[in-house]
Amino acid sequence: MREIILARIDDRLLHGQVVVKWIPHLEADVVIIVDDELDNNPFLKKVTLTAAPKTIDIKVTSVDNFSECFKNVKGRILLIAKIPQVFENLINQGVEIKRIVLGGMGSGDNRKNLYRNIHVSTEEMASLIKLADTAEVDIQIIPDDKPRNILKI
């Protein structure tokens, strides 16, 4: 069985909230971090993999190599990327993503505050709205929070 149970957008990628809250909550078996920059930086990649909890399978991949990486995993999968465009790209590649949550998008880079710690630029917002056509897109920082649908904000 290979199923993407959740895709999360977070600048900080594999952050404390993911490790302490989301992974146990989702009972995920695999976390795939889709990020070109991280995949190309051997030091940061090594830090990320070393810091990851040992009880779970963690993969780091670039957008282009995603399908290759996806083939080699099994179980309940959590995807993490920094920006929504990554998931848009994956969906165009034919990957099935049903639910996307926004967990943390920092201020800066022409981003405007959307809700609490979620800041988005115009391009990102356009991409999120496009994603909302095929998937359920919510702001939900940790599992204990009530999901807020992106289209209703």
Partner 1 sequence: MTLFNYIILGIIYFIGSSTSFTFGVGYYTLYRSVFSGLITGFALGNPAAGLMAGALTNILFIDFSSTGGSLKGDPCMAGILSAMAAIKFDIMPAAAISLSFPISMIGLVLWRYRLSINSIFIKNLKRTIDKDPEKAISINNIYLPQLLLLAISIVLVSATSWFLYRFGSMVLGRFPEMEIVLNTTGIMLIILSSSSAILWFKYKYNIIMFSVAYLVAVYFHFDPYLVLIVIMLLSAQKRKTMDMEKYVSPRIGKKEIIRSWMVWMNFTHSCYSFEMMQGVAFSHSMIPVLKKLYKGKKDRKDDAIKRHLEFFNTEPNVGSSIHGYIIQMEDRMIDDRQISGPMISDHKKGLMGAVAGMGDFTTQTVIAPITILGMIYGVVTDEISMFVFSTLVMIGTVMFLSLKGFFDGFYYGEEGVLRRVNLPNEIKIFKYSHKIFVVLLGLVAGESIYTILSATGIGALTGGSAALLLLFIIFNYILRKGIELKLLVLSIYILNIIFLIIR
- Which residues of this protein are in contact with partner 1, per CB under 8 A? 10-21, 24, 37-38, 41, 43-44, 46-48, 50-54, 106-108, 113, 116-117, 141-142, 144-145
Is beta strand 99-104 parallel, antiparallel or unpaired with respect to 75-81?
A: unpaired
Please report how close the Cβ of residue 25 comes to partner 1 at its closest, in angstroms.
12
Please report how close the Cβ of residue 62 comes to partner 1 at its closest, in angstroms.
15
Please report how close the Cβ of residue 53 comes to partner 1 at its closest, in angstroms.
7
User: Nearer Cβ to partner 1, position 14 or 32?
Assistant: 14
Three-state secondary structure string covering 60-114: EECCCCHHHHHHCCCEEEEEEECCHHHHHHHHHCCCCCCEEEEEEECCCCCCEEE
User: Nearer Cβ to partner 1, position 5 or 142?
Assistant: 142
User: Nearer Cβ to partner 1, position 91 or 138?
Assistant: 138
What's the rounded Cα separation, in Å, for the pair 76 and 36?
A: 23
Burial of 110 (0-12, 13-18, 19+ CB in 10 A): exposed
**DSSP symbol at 15:** -
Please report how close the Cβ of residue 130 comes to partner 1 at its closest, in angstroms.
25
User: Nearer Cβ to partner 1, position 47 or 129?
Assistant: 47
